[in-house]
Amino acid sequence: MQSSDNNGDFDSLPDNLLAGISPNSDNESFNKLLSGSHFRLERIVSTGQATAAGEWYDQEDDEWVVLLSGSAGLRFEDERDVHELKPGDFINIVAHRRHRVEWTDPAQPTVWLALHYQIDQT
C-alpha cells in the first residue's frame, strides 16, 4: 500500500485498500494515505482490538469513517446503544464527541477508511 507524508505527492499508481493485510496481527495498523493542511486520510486495520476499558476518544478533528470489511461496534459516550457497523456503513463523528470502539471482528480483519478533517471557518 502506498502512503504519503507530503500532501499526496506520490506516484499515481493503482492500489487496493484491502491488499497487504495481516489477518492475525496483535496490533492495529494505521496507514496514512493522503494529508493536507486541514485533512488526513488513513486506512486502519483492526483484528479484534477495542478501545481500552474506561477510555474514550476525544479528537480535535471531525472524522468521517467508512467500514470496508469486517465488523465493529462503535459507542458514543452520550448514548447507551452500541452501533454495529458492517461493510459499507459510514458515520461522521464531530470533533470532541467522545466515542470508543467496543469491539472489532476477531475472525477477520476489520478495515476502516478514516478521513480526519477540519472545516475552514474563515
CA distance 29 to 39: 19
* Kind plus residue range of the DSSP H or E element containing 76: strand 72-76
Q: How many structural domains comprise the chain?
A: 1
Residues 75-114: pLDDT tens digits? 999 999 999 999 999 999 999 999 999 999 999 999 999 9
Q: Which residue has the higher pLDDT, 121 or 113?
A: 113
* Alpha carbon distance, N-terminus to C-terminus of the chain: 35
In a domain, 12, yes or no: no
Domain of 113 in residue numbering reads as 29-117
Instruction: Please say if the pLDDT value at position 118 is more than 70.
Output: yes
What's the CATH number where 56 sits?
2.60.120.10
Smallest CA-to-CA distance from 78 within 104, 56, 51, 53 is with 56
In a domain, 18, yes or no: no
pTM of the model: 0.85
In a domain, 24, yes or no: no
In a domain, 68, yes or no: yes
What are the C-alpha distances in Å from 17 to residues 65, 69, 99, 113?
14, 10, 25, 8
In a domain, 15, yes or no: no
In a domain, 10, yes or no: no
Which range is least confidently modeled, 24-33, 56-65, 70-79, 80-89?
Answer: 24-33
Instruction: Please say if the pLDDT value at position 37 is more than 80.
Output: yes
In a domain, 105, yes or no: yes
CA distance 13 to 81: 41
